[in-house]
Structure 1
Amino acid sequence: MSRTEQEVRDLYRASHGMPSGPAKFAALEEVIRHADALGLVEFAFDVRMSATSVFQHSWVPAKAFLTFSWCLAAYDREPDRFGGRHDHTLLWQFKWMIYSVYQFPEIPLERATDLLADMERRYRRGGHSLHAVLQHRGLVAESTGELARAQDFYEQMAVTRRDGLSDCSGCVPSSQVRTLVALGRDEEAIRIGEPAVRSGCTEQPQWINSELLLPYVRTGRGEQAVEAHRVAYRRIRDNPHHLGELASNLLFCVHSGNLGRGLDLIERHLSWLDRPRTPLTEMEFAAAAAAVLSAVEARGEGERLLRFPAADGVRRPDARVAGLARELRERALGIAARFDARNGNAYQSTRMREWSGAGPIGDPAPLSVFERDLESRAGERVRRLVDRVAALTAAGDRVGAARGRAAAADALLADERFADAVEASEEAVRELDRLGLEEEAATARWVLARAYREDGEWRRASAALGELLDAWKPDTAAPSLPPRAELEARLGGWLGHGPEAAARYLAAARGFAAAGRAADRMSALGQALRRHPCGGGAGSAQDAAASGVLPDLLTEARGVLDELLAAGLPSGEGALGTATADVLHGYAGHLRSSGQAEAAVARLQTARALLEQQESAEVAPQLGEVLTELGLLRLRLGDPAAAEEAARAALALLDDPEEAWEEALVLVRALQARGADEEAAAVMADHGLDEDDLDGFDGEED
C-alpha cells in the first residue's frame, strides 16, 4: 500500500516513541521503503542515519550494515548534498561497523581490514586523530587471536591523542581492558579500567564492570568482583543487546563458585539465544552457559530440571542440566569452527573449549544473601532465618530451604534492607517455581514486587505484580496475599496513567463489587475513569481510541451511576460519598471529551453537592478540582456568572494564592466575559498573572 509523504513522516515521528524491538525495526524499514518510493532522498538519508543507531544499539547490527552502506555510498556520490551535518556522524558510525563486522564469521576478514583502511584514510583526510582507528585495529586483532599485534596497537593507542571521534572515557578503557585480560595483564587492566566505572555512557558501567570480572577474580579481589557483577547485571538484564556482557557474568558465576546464580541467569536469559546480537556473542554466551551447566553436572546434578519463562509468548520446553550442557557446548564449538575457518587459526575453538570447561578460581565469592556475612547489616530474625536456610540446604531439604528464603525476604523487606530483599525474594520465587509450590511462589512474588518498588525499580515492580495477577488462580491464591482486587488497585496506582492503569483499576472495581465493598468499588472506578487518557490524565485521544478499555469502562460507570440515581445518591459524610463524587468527576471528563458539555456539567454539579455534604477538610482538594472543571465548562457554555461563582468557590478552598493559578484564570476569564475588566485586572495582579498566562486559556477545548 502506498503512503503519502505526510503519512510517511508521521510514521517516522511515531517510531521515535516506540521501544526497541521488532515493531520499531519494521516501522523504520517501512518508512525507508516509502521514502525511497516517493523520491524523498534527503529524508531517506536522515532516516537511515537514525536507523543505523537504533539497529546498532539493539540486537540487530546486521541491519545497520545495510543502512550505513547506503548512506556512505550516497555521501561519496554527492558530498555537497549530504555532507556538513553528517560528516562527523558517518565517521563515528565507521567504528560501529568495524566493531560488528568481525563478529560475523560469514563476512570475510578482508572486509574488516578494508573497512579499517577506509576509516583510516577518511580520518587522515579530515585531520582527525588515529586514536579510534588504533583502538579498533586492536579489537579486531584480539578477536582473531593475533595477540602480539593487539598489544602493539594497544601501546600505540596509549600514546596517541584523543579527539572528538574517540570513544568515551568508559568505552576506551573497556576495549583496553579486554585486550589486557587476553594478554594476562590483570593488574594493569584493573588500574586502567576502574576509573571508567563512573562513566555515564549508554554502554557503561555494564561493559567495563563485565570486563573487570575476570581480572578481579584472578587477583583475589572477590568483593570487588561481586560488586562489579551486581552493578553490571542490573543494567544488562532487560536488553538482549548485552548478550556478550552476560556471557562474562556467567563465567564469573563459575569462577566465583556461584553456580546457583549461574543457573538462574541461564533460565532467565536462554531465550536471548533465539535472537543473538552476533554469532560471536551467541558463541560466548553458549560456551559460558555450558561452563555453568557442566560444573553443576560435575557435582552430581546432571538430571536437574531447568524451567524457562515464556518469552514473546513462547515457552522453551524444560531441559535437563546435562543435556543442555552438551547442546550449548556443541553450539559454541560449531560457531567457533566457522570463525577459525575464516581467521585461519584455531584461536576461537581453543578459547571456547577453555570457557566451556572453566572451573573455580581462588576462594569463593558468594553472591547470595544467604551465603554472605550479614552480622553488621541485618536484624536477629533475618540472621536466624538465613542460618536456617543454610542448614536446610545442607540437609538437602529444597522445599524447606525455599520456604526459608521466602520468609527471609519478607523479613529483609520489613528491616528496610531493600536490595537484599530483592535478591532474597528473586531466589525464593525461582526456587518455589521450580518446586511447583504455586501458592508460596505467589506470596514471594508479592514480596518481590514491593522490594523492587522500595529499591527504586518501579518498572520491574509493576512487571512482577502484573505477572502475579496474570497467573492468578482462585483455587491456589495464597491466604497470606491481599485480595486480588486490592492488588489490581495497587498495580493501577503503580502504573500511573494510561489505558493499562485504567484497566487494572476497572478490574479492581469489579472485584470490590463482588466482595460487597461499595466504597472501594466506587473509589477504584473513579480512579479508572480519571487515569484513562480521555479522563484528563496523561496520554492522548489517539491512545484512548486504540484502547479496548474505554467502552467497558464507560458502560460500567454509566450503569453504576444510573443505579445510584435511581436509588438515591449517598448522603452525609462517608467514604462512599467522596468515592461516588470521584466517579461523577471522572465520568464528566469523558463526557466533556466527547462533546457532551451540558451532561458533564450535570455530573459535576452532583459531585459538588456530594462533596459539600462532607465535613472533613480532606475533601477540599477534590472539591476544588470539581469546581474548577465546572467553571471551565460553564465558560464554554456561555454562562460567565455561573463560571465566576464556581471559580470563587474553588479559590475560597485554597490557603496559598500561588497554588490557585488555574482557578484564578477561570475567574479572570469569567469576569472579562461579563465586562468586569477592572476587577479581572485586580485578580490578575493579586495572583501574579499576565497576558501570556491568558493566551490559549479561553475556556474552549484544547
Structure 2
Amino acid sequence: MSRGEAELRERLSEASAMRFGEAQQAAMEDVVRHADAGGFARLAFEARRRLADAYSVAGQWHMAFPLFSRCLSDHDQRPELFEPEDDRALRLWYTHIVHTMVEFPDITMAQLDQAMSDVERRFKAGGHNLHPVYDMRRWVAQVTCDWEEEERNHRLWWESGGPRPRSVWDFEVDVERLVRRGDETSLARAREIARPALVGDVEFDEPPTPIQCLMLLPLTKAGATSDVALARRRSAWELSERPYRIEYMAMHIEFCAMTGNEDQGLIEVRRSAHRLRDLNRPNGTMEMAAAIALLMRRLDDAGRGEELVAWSVHEDPTTPVATMRQEMTELALDLAARFDERNGTTAQGDRIRSLLAAEPVVDFLPLTPTSRAPRRTPAPRGMSPEDLLERAEWHQRAQEDTETRDYLDALPAEPPEHLVGRITELHAVLAWDADTGDGLRRAAEEHRRNDDHRRHLLCRTWLARWLAHNQRAEDALAEARSALRELHEAGDPWAIAWGELRMAQVLVILREDGAYPALRRAAQYAAASGDPLSVGIIADLEAFWREHERSAPEGVISLATTAKDFLLAAGSYAATMSAFTRLESAHERAGRLPEFVALVREQLDHLPSNTPEAVRAHLRYERGRALVEEGNRGAEAVADLTDAVTVLSSLNLDSTDHWYYLATACHVTSRYDEARHAANRIANRVLDKRAEGTLANPAWADACWLILADSYRNLGEHTTAIEHYAYLVSKAQEYGSGETHPVAVALKDMAMVLYGLDRDAEAAERFQQAAEVFAVLGNQVAAASCRCQQAQALFWSGDTEAALACLPVAEEAVAAVPVEPVAIRATCEAQLAETRARITVAAERPEAARDAARASAACRDAGELSAAIDMDILRAQVLLNEERPDLALPALDAARTACAEDDPRLEEIARLRTLARGTPDRVQEVQEVQEVQASGDGLGAG
C-alpha cells in the first residue's frame, strides 16, 4: 500500500520523537522504504540521514555507511531533485562519515585519503568555506597520531572560522587534542582553555559534559580535587541521561581506576559495559576495553581477582575480575595493533600499553563530600588463629556480624583441629538458616570432644534458641533448661549470664512466662563477671523489649542508659548505637526529646578514647538532625551530618534517615549540588519504602523528591527539574498524598520554571493546581499568590479572555486571606492589584489607568516601593497612549521621587516626561492643568 508524501513526513516526524531503539529504527526504515517506492527523493534523503543517526546511537555506526552512499549516489545522479540546502546537508554529512571511517582500522589510509579529497573537491566546487574540511582532516590526523598534520589543519580550521559560538563540540576540539597529546605543557594549556567552561563563564547550547569528562585526570594531576569532583558528578548525571559516545564513560572508568575509586568504577562498568556488545565502532571499543582492563588490573592487584563482575545492572555477576582483565586487555591491544598496522605507526599501541600499566595519580580522591576510601579489613598480621577466633567471637557477641566475618575469613584455610568446633558454631549462628541446627549440633559435639564444657553448654543454648525459632517448643525448652542447669552447676558467672540471656530469648519466642526474671538473673551474673559487654547487651535487650511493649518510658531510659554506658566502655559500636536508639524513642514518648538532644551533645564532649568511630558518627548524626529540626540551624548541621554520613556509609551503616537529613540540611543552606547528591541516594528507596509501609515518615518521600527537583532547578537544569516535580506529583497522587505541602510547593515551583521557559499555558495549569492544594491545606496566602500568577501566565500564553476571567477567581482567593496580620494581607492585595493592572493595560481595557493607579497605591501600602514605581510608570504609559499627559506627569513625578539615584528606571521616566511635556505650548498647558489640580478643582486620578 503506497502512502503520500505528507503522511510519510508525519510518520518521520513521529519516529524522530521516539526514544532511541529498535522501534524507532523500524519506523524510520519503513519511511525509507515507502519514500523510495513513492519516488520522494528528498524525503528518502532526509529519512536516511535520521536513520543513520539512530543506528549510530545504538552503536551500529557501520550501518550509516550504505545509507550515506545511497544518498550521495541519488544526489549525484539526479541533482535537479534536490535543493541547495540538501547539498549543504550532504556535504556536512560527508565530513561526519569520514570522521567515522577513520575509527574503523579495516578502512585503509588510501580509502580515507580518497574520501577526504572528494569532500574537499565538493566544497571547493561550490565555493564553500573549507572550515568543516579542515576539522575533518584534523580529526583523521588526531586518530592516526599524525600530530604535525593535525597541527596544520587545526591552524587552518581556526583561520577559516574556528569554533562556533556556543558549540560545546567545537570548544572540545581545542581541549581534546591537548589532552590526547598528554605531555605536561599540553595538559597545562588544556586546563587553561577548559577552565572558563568548567566554571560556567562560557555558555553552550548543550551541557559541557565532554569538557568535564576530558578534564577529569588533568584536573586531578593539578591537585584541583574540588573542581574535579564537581565535574565528575555533573558529567556522570548527563551521561546517565543522554546518549553520549562510549569514550566519555571510558574516561570515567579510567578516572576511578586512577584515583582509588575502584568500587565506583565497578558501578560505572555495570552501567555501561554492556554497550560494548552492541557497539560496532572499533575506536570506541578500544578505549572502553582499555579503561575496563585498567580498572580490573587495579582490583586484581588488590587481591580481588576472584570477585565476580556483572556486565550490566540487569545481569547477575558472572565474570571474575581476573578473567575480565585478561579479556579486555587482549581486546584493547588487538584493536590498537590493527590501528597501528593501518596507520603505519606504533602510536596507538604505545598509548594503550601505557594506559594499561598506569599507576594511580592519587591514592584516593573523594568524589562527593561524603566519600571515603574503601574500608576493606585486611587479614590482621601476626595474629594467631586462636587470637583471630577470639576476636571473631567477641564481635559476634557485640552484634557486629561484618567484623565477625572479617576475622573468620582471616583464619587459615585449614585451621588447627581444636578450633573447628568454634568456627563451625560461628558460621552456623551467622547463617541462621535451615542448616543452623545441624551446624550447632556438630559444633557442640566438637566442644565435648575437646573437653570444652563451657562452650559445649553455651552452644546448646544457641541450639535451644534455634529450636524455638522453628517452633519446636518442647525440644527448645528441654535443651535450654538442661544446658542452663549444668551452667549453674559449673558456677561461671559470665557463662551463666549468657545462658540466662538465651533462656529469656527462648521464652519470649515461645510466648512463655519467665522471660524478664531470666533476664534479671542474666544481668546479675553479668555484673558479677565484670564484663561490660555482657552487662550492656543484656540491659539493651531488656530496654528493647520494654520499649516494644510501651512500658513506662522512665524505666526504658534507665535501662538504655545503663546499656549505653557499659557498651561504650566495652567499645562496641553496633550495640551502643542500638542503646541510643532506645534512649531517643523513650525520651520522645515521655515528651522529653530536648533532654535526649542535650544528652547527645554532652556525650559527644565526653566520649571514651576507645569509642568506635561509628558511635561517634552516630552521635554527630543525632546532633545534626536535632539542629535541622530546630529550624534555621542548617548551616551548623551540615558539618555534623556530612561527617556522620561519610563514616557510616563507608561502614555500610548508612540509612535512609541519614541521607534524608543530610539532603535537607544541604538544601536549606543552598548547597544544591550536595543536596542533589544526597537526595539522589535515597529518592527511589523512599518511594519503595513508602509503598511497603516501612518508611518512618511517609512525608519524607514527597519531601525528598522536592529537594531533588528544587536542587536541579537551582543548578539551572530546568528540564530535569520539571520532570522530577511532575514525578513527585504523580507518585504523591498514586499513594494518596496529593494534598500535602511538598506537593503544593512542587506544583508552584514547576509552574515558575515553566513560566520562565515561556511555556505559559502549562504554567497556568500548574499554578491553578497549586492554588487548589494550598487552599485545601489552609494556606490561603499561597493560594492567592498562585491564582494571581495563574492569571498572568494565562495572559502571556495569549489567552487574554481566560486571564481576565481568572481575575475574579484571584479576587476570591485574596478575599479568603485572613485580615491579620495586616502586612501579609496588604501584600496579597498588592499582588492582585499589580496583576490586574498588567493584564488590563496589556489588553488595552478602558479601566487600565485606574487599575495601575490602584496597584501603585496598594504596593505602597504593602511597603513594596519598587513595584509601586513600576505601576506608576505603567500608568503613565497608558495615559500617554490615551493622550492625557496632564495626568501622566504626576505619576512620573511620583515614580521619580521614589527612585534611588542609581535606579536604571530613571532613564525611562525621563523619556516619558519628555513625551508628556511635548512642545513649549503644550508644557504651558500641562502646567496650568497641574495648578488647577493642586487647587483641588481638578479631575482626580485616572
Question: Is structure 2 residue 269 aligned with structure 1 residue 266?
Answer: yes
Counterpart of 2:883 in structure 1 is none
CA distance in 2: counterparts of 1:165 and 1:390, whole angstroms: 46
- Structure 1 residue corresponding to 2:672, chosen from 418, 441, 446: 418
Kept in 2, the 8 Å contact 1:173–1:192? The answer is no
Partner amino acid for 2:154? M
Question: Is structure 2 residue 555 aligned with structure 1 residue 301?
Answer: no
RMSD of Structure 2 on Structure 1 (CA): 5.4
Q: Which 10-residue stretch deviates more, 282-291 or 211-220?
A: 211-220
CA distance in 2: counterparts of 1:15 and 1:227, whole angstroms: 36
Judged with a 3 Å threshold, the aligned counterparts in structure 2 of structure 1 residues 448 and 55 are, in CA distance, closer, same or farther, namely: farther
Counterpart of 2:482 in structure 1 is none
Question: Is structure 2 residue 378 aligned with structure 1 residue 124?
Answer: no
CA distance in 2: counterparts of 1:683 and 1:202, whole angstroms: 43
Counterpart of 1:455 in structure 2 is 711
- Structure 1 residue corresponding to 2:181, chosen from 183, 186, 210: 183
Question: Is structure 2 residue 607 aligned with structure 1 residue 353?
Answer: no
Counterparts of 1:651-670 in structure 2 under 5 Å?
A: 653=812
Judged with a 3 Å threshold, the aligned counterparts in structure 2 of structure 1 residues 414 and 650 are, in CA distance, closer, same or farther, namely: closer
Kept in 1, the 8 Å contact 2:254–2:291? The answer is yes
Counterparts of 1:234-253 in structure 2 under 5 Å?
A: 234-253=237-256
Partner amino acid for 2:67? T
| Structure 1 residue 421, shift from structure 2 partner | 2.9
Counterparts of 1:129-208 in structure 2 under 5 Å?
A: 129-144=129-144, 147=145, 149-158=146-155, 161-163=158-160, 170-191=168-189, 194-195=192-193, 197=197, 200=203, 205-208=208-211
CA distance in 2: counterparts of 1:351 and 1:138, whole angstroms: 19
Counterpart of 1:34 in structure 2 is 34
| Structure 1 residue 622, shift from structure 2 partner | 11
Counterpart of 1:292 in structure 2 is 295
CA distance in 2: counterparts of 1:82 and 1:461, whole angstroms: 42
Q: Secondary structure at the match of 1:301?
A: coil
- Structure 2 residue corresponding to 1:232, chosen from 229, 232, 235: 235
| Structure 1 residue 98, shift from structure 2 partner | 1.6
Partner amino acid for 1:179? R
Q: Secondary structure at the match of 1:368?
A: coil
Judged with a 3 Å threshold, the aligned counterparts in structure 2 of structure 1 residues 235 and 194 are, in CA distance, closer, same or farther, namely: farther
CA distance in 2: counterparts of 1:431 and 1:356, whole angstroms: 37
The structure having more radius of gyration, on CA atoms, is: 2
| Structure 1 residue 167, shift from structure 2 partner | 6.0
CA distance in 2: counterparts of 1:50 and 1:248, whole angstroms: 28
Q: Give aligned-pair identity as a percent.
A: 26
| Structure 1 residue 101, shift from structure 2 partner | 1.4
Counterpart of 1:82 in structure 2 is 82
Counterparts of 1:313-332 in structure 2 under 5 Å?
A: 314-315=314-315, 317=317, 320-332=320-332
What's the TM-score, normalizing by structure 2? 0.46
Partner amino acid for 2:155? A
CA distance in 2: counterparts of 1:440 and 1:623, whole angstroms: 34
Counterpart of 2:428 in structure 1 is none
CA distance in 2: counterparts of 1:277 and 1:200, whole angstroms: 33
Question: Is structure 2 residue 7 aligned with structure 1 residue 7?
Answer: yes
Partner amino acid for 1:92? L
Partner amino acid for 1:181? V
The total of aligned residue pairs comes to: 527
- Deviations for 1:432-456, whole angstroms, at most 9, x for unmatched residues? 9xxxxx9799999988644431221
* 5+ long unaligned stretches in structure 2: 374-632, 687-691, 752-760, 764-771, 790-804, 815-828, 853-942
CA distance in 2: counterparts of 1:106 and 1:53, whole angstroms: 22
Q: Secondary structure at the match of 1:366?
A: coil
| Structure 1 residue 11, shift from structure 2 partner | 0.8
Kept in 2, the 8 Å contact 1:368–1:424? The answer is no
Kept in 2, the 8 Å contact 1:492–1:505? The answer is no
Q: Secondary structure at the match of 1:152?
A: helix
Q: Which 10-residue stretch deviates more, 296-305 or 113-122?
A: 296-305
Kept in 2, the 8 Å contact 1:267–1:307? The answer is yes
CA distance in 1: counterparts of 2:317 and 2:33, whole angstroms: 38
CA distance in 2: counterparts of 1:682 and 1:387, whole angstroms: 63
Judged with a 3 Å threshold, the aligned counterparts in structure 2 of structure 1 residues 216 and 334 are, in CA distance, closer, same or farther, namely: same
Judged with a 3 Å threshold, the aligned counterparts in structure 2 of structure 1 residues 308 and 419 are, in CA distance, closer, same or farther, namely: farther
Counterpart of 1:110 in structure 2 is 110
Partner amino acid for 1:356? L
| Structure 1 residue 36, shift from structure 2 partner | 0.9
| Structure 1 residue 390, shift from structure 2 partner | 5.5
Counterpart of 1:508 in structure 2 is 735
- Deviations for 1:379-404, whole angstroms, at most 9, x for unmatched residues? 4544334444555678xx43469986
CA distance in 1: counterparts of 2:55 and 2:204, whole angstroms: 17
Q: Secondary structure at the match of 2:303?
A: helix
Partner amino acid for 2:149? D
| Structure 1 residue 305, shift from structure 2 partner | 5.1
Counterparts of 1:590-669 in structure 2 under 5 Å?
A: 653=812
Question: Is structure 2 residue 218 aligned with structure 1 residue 211?
Answer: no
CA distance in 1: counterparts of 2:73 and 2:358, whole angstroms: 45
- Deviations for 1:512-542, whole angstroms, at most 9, x for unmatched residues? 9xxxxxx99xx99xx9xxx9xxxxx979xxx
* 5+ long unaligned stretches in structure 1: 433-437, 466-490, 496-500, 513-518, 532-536, 540-574, 583-613, 626-645, 669-680, 689-702
Structure scoring higher RCO (CA < 8 A, sep ≥ 6) equals 1
Counterparts of 1:359-378 in structure 2 under 5 Å?
A: 359-361=359-361, 364-371=364-371
| Structure 1 residue 128, shift from structure 2 partner | 4.0
Partner amino acid for 2:41? V
CA distance in 1: counterparts of 2:695 and 2:352, whole angstroms: 40
Judged with a 3 Å threshold, the aligned counterparts in structure 2 of structure 1 residues 493 and 421 are, in CA distance, closer, same or farther, namely: closer
Q: Secondary structure at the match of 1:300?
A: coil
Q: Which 10-residue stretch deviates more, 97-106 or 345-354?
A: 345-354
Q: Secondary structure at the match of 2:9?
A: helix
CA distance in 1: counterparts of 2:276 and 2:696, whole angstroms: 27
CA distance in 2: counterparts of 1:393 and 1:176, whole angstroms: 40
| Structure 1 residue 360, shift from structure 2 partner | 0.8
Partner amino acid for 1:32? V
CA distance in 1: counterparts of 2:115 and 2:103, whole angstroms: 14
CA distance in 1: counterparts of 2:316 and 2:44, whole angstroms: 39
Judged with a 3 Å threshold, the aligned counterparts in structure 2 of structure 1 residues 404 and 615 are, in CA distance, closer, same or farther, namely: closer
Counterpart of 2:22 in structure 1 is 22
Kept in 2, the 8 Å contact 1:403–1:428? The answer is no
Kept in 2, the 8 Å contact 1:462–1:494? The answer is no
Partner amino acid for 2:735? A
| Structure 1 residue 99, shift from structure 2 partner | 1.5
Kept in 1, the 8 Å contact 2:95–2:136? The answer is yes
Q: Secondary structure at the match of 1:358?
A: coil
Partner amino acid for 1:153? E
Judged with a 3 Å threshold, the aligned counterparts in structure 2 of structure 1 residues 45 and 235 are, in CA distance, closer, same or farther, namely: same
Partner amino acid for 1:121? R
Judged with a 3 Å threshold, the aligned counterparts in structure 2 of structure 1 residues 95 and 232 are, in CA distance, closer, same or farther, namely: farther
Judged with a 3 Å threshold, the aligned counterparts in structure 2 of structure 1 residues 252 and 7 are, in CA distance, closer, same or farther, namely: same
Judged with a 3 Å threshold, the aligned counterparts in structure 2 of structure 1 residues 231 and 239 are, in CA distance, closer, same or farther, namely: same
| Structure 1 residue 25, shift from structure 2 partner | 2.8
Q: Secondary structure at the match of 1:398?
A: coil
Q: Secondary structure at the match of 1:359?
A: coil
